[in-house]
A and B are shown apart, each in its own frame.
Chain A
Amino acid sequence: MSIIDDTRLRPAEPSRAVVFWNRYRRNRAALLGLVLFAVVVLMALTAGLVDPGDPLRRAGAPLTAPFVDMATPLGTDQLGRDILSGLFYGARISLLVGVVATLVAIAIGVVIGALAGYFGGWVDDVLMRITEAFQTIPNFVLLLTLVAILGSKIEWITLAIGIVSWTAPARMVRAEFMSLRNREFVDAARNLGVSNTSLIFREILPNALPPIIVYASVIMALSILLESALAFLGLGDPNYASWGNMIGQGRAVLRTAWYCAAIPGIAIVLTVLSFSLLGEGLNDALNPRQKQ
């Protein structure tokens, strides 16, 4: 019994979350990204508190300049809609579309990439030709076509953005699977009689995920840009305030009231920037040995 008392125990290692956080915060730009991201999330969550009611209703005199009227601190557009509340509600749509479209893209990408990389052979050939076909069609043209066919409801737009964005994650998952499928732990599990499904989703997939998680931030940024471009062209869902749509409307009054387009535009730039910085920070924290 006394043996254990004498054994010098190693000091407890800090938990994985702490290690992760320590690595993440070394990158100052990534911290800025985290702050920007938190601000956008906060805006999306508090939209209803800042402006209870419809952001598309008239809130003041049309084309009030920013910082003139305290009821509409960032001014109003040509229909008298409050730009500040549009900004807050727009954050909701951008984040919602970004997150859901990314999940759709990654789900499709994981399934296709996993099947192609795990089975190889003709399955790989067929799936990769399909992936190449999707990569060959310019994604914004395909997106326009899908929206023309499906209609401009926000659900369909999100799905369509997911459908045009899955190719890159599919290729990444495939490459990871190809390098992992013959490792010892997979062979061991296979010899124990584990089924293919379990091997793919419970043994290999968790090991293939870190690069996909980093890449998710890129897909999210691209999804937000795609949604805003659609809304800018007037093909977004007209029932929701969206940054792209605000810029599209602001284009008509660019000569007299340029702030109508500039304010939501800066919001998009900062949001997308936050995702890029987050992605770099995640990459540094998840792959500490990789030198950039």
Chain B
Amino acid sequence: MSLPIPPLLTYALRRLVQAVPVIVLIMVGTFLLLKLAPGDTVDALVGDMGGADAQFIERLRIEYGLDQPVWVQLWRYMSKLATFDFGWSFVYEQPVATVLMDRLGTTLLLMATSLSIAFTVGVALGAIAARRAYSLTDNVISTLGLVFYATPSFFLSLMMMLLFSVKLGWLPVGGIKTIAGFYTGWDHVWDVALHLIMPTAALSLIYLSFYLRLMRSSVLQVADLDFVRTARAKGAGETRLMFHHIMRNALLPVVTLFGLQFSTVLGGSVVVETIFTLPGLGQLAYQSVIQRDMNTLMGIIFLCSIIVVVVNFLTDLLYARLDSRIELS
């Protein structure tokens, strides 16, 4: 007597349950990092006030529960994190959650655009290179892939700035919008798009090479399999062969890499956002390190981890949808 639950849904639920211990571990990890960092909340608070006498500091410590055993502190910290309460930022004089939410949109926009470009262009170029393996086209694509793989994102960003902003003057150097522009409607959209071209290009060119290289070797491998030969013998044209038979199977490892790589790309946005002064989570992470704003930094780690878990969950579902061999139950 079991309810007819679609297998994809049970699979999804199981993946979600598996993510719980990972998130709990990350909570414990951020707590440990906070404890390892020199100074605590009260130190930051007192520093913010410009000093206080010892008795007052003692009272504050009791009020913030810092006199309690570590286990109690850990439990309180985790229950606060679970409700997305990251504490107070003494640099921004706001709750950390508010600061983070202000920045989240920019980072998500940058991630979405650069990853979709990197993924589609990388997959397309990888497939083309594999179909013409060892030709001039393949050599050019593969060499470019290797070079971009080896280029640090900050160096690529600087060289693009040098060319497009300094020499040609086509694109703005940084920021998310023209400060004194006060654009509205489509003008605003166009303005933001112009500001995002270079950061998006920098991130996607670097990570494109990952997908390109994997897609190339994956297509080469799949193209050798028996079912492709069968399809060809049945008279399938090269185009149909590529899109219906090879691509779908060759995409599987690339989708896996997409999930695995996502946290790396999110980390890479720290450098790119800082260079282009984009007000996103990455730039906030850098500023928090410089200003020793540990509460904000831990908030970023936790929020980024949640985003990564969600994206991994979605790629798992996509993978299950693409690969009919996978056992859902």
Contact = CB atoms under 8 A, between A and B. Distances in A.
A269 interface: yes
A254 B162 contact: yes
Interface in A233-272: 233, 235, 244, 247-248, 250-251, 254-255, 258, 261-262, 265, 268-272
A276 interface: yes
B29 A265 contact: no
B152 A225 contact: yes
Nearest to B217: A292
B292 interface: yes
Interface stretch (B114-122, B193-201, B240-248, B260-268): B260-268
Given A137-B29, A268-B155, A145 B162 contact: no
Given A129-B21, A148-B289, A140 B260 contact: no
Given A254-B162, A261-B155, A273-B147, A145 B26 contact: no
A255 B33 CA distance: 40
A265 B152 contact: yes
Name the interface size band of chain B. Answer: 35 or more
A247 B155 contact: yes
B285 interface: yes
A254 B29 contact: no
Nearest to A268: B152
Interface in B114-159: 146-147, 149-155, 158-159
Contacts of B158: 247, 250-251, 254, 261, 265
B264 to A, nearest CB: 6
Given A133-B26, A136-B22, A229-B152, A144 B285 contact: yes
Interface in A90-111: none
Contacts of A273: 146-147, 150
B166 interface: yes
B271 A133 contact: no
B220 interface: yes
Interface string B279-297: 0001001100100101001
A130 B32 CA distance: 14
Contact of A137 (B38, B152, B294, B305): B305
Contact of B267 (A133, A138, A276): A138
A138 B161 CA distance: 26
Interface string B17-44: 0000110011001000100111000000
Contact of A265 (B22, B155, B217): B155
B254 interface: no
Interface residues of A, number: 47
Given A133-B25, A136-B309, A255-B166, A232 B289 contact: no
Nearest to A125: B21
B289 A235 contact: yes
Nearest to B285: A141
7 contacts: A136-B263, A137-B263, A138-B304, A147-B289, A235-B289, A247-B158, A254-B158
Interface of B: 21-22, 25-26, 29, 33, 36-38, 146-147, 149-155, 158-159, 161-162, 166, 217, 220-221, 224, 260, 263-264, 266-268, 270-271, 274-275, 282, 285-286, 289, 292, 294, 297, 300-301, 304-305, 308-309, 312
- The 9 A-B pairs at the shortest CB distance, nearest first, are namely A140-B267, A138-B267, A272-B150, A265-B155, A133-B25, A273-B150, A138-B266, A148-B289, A138-B263
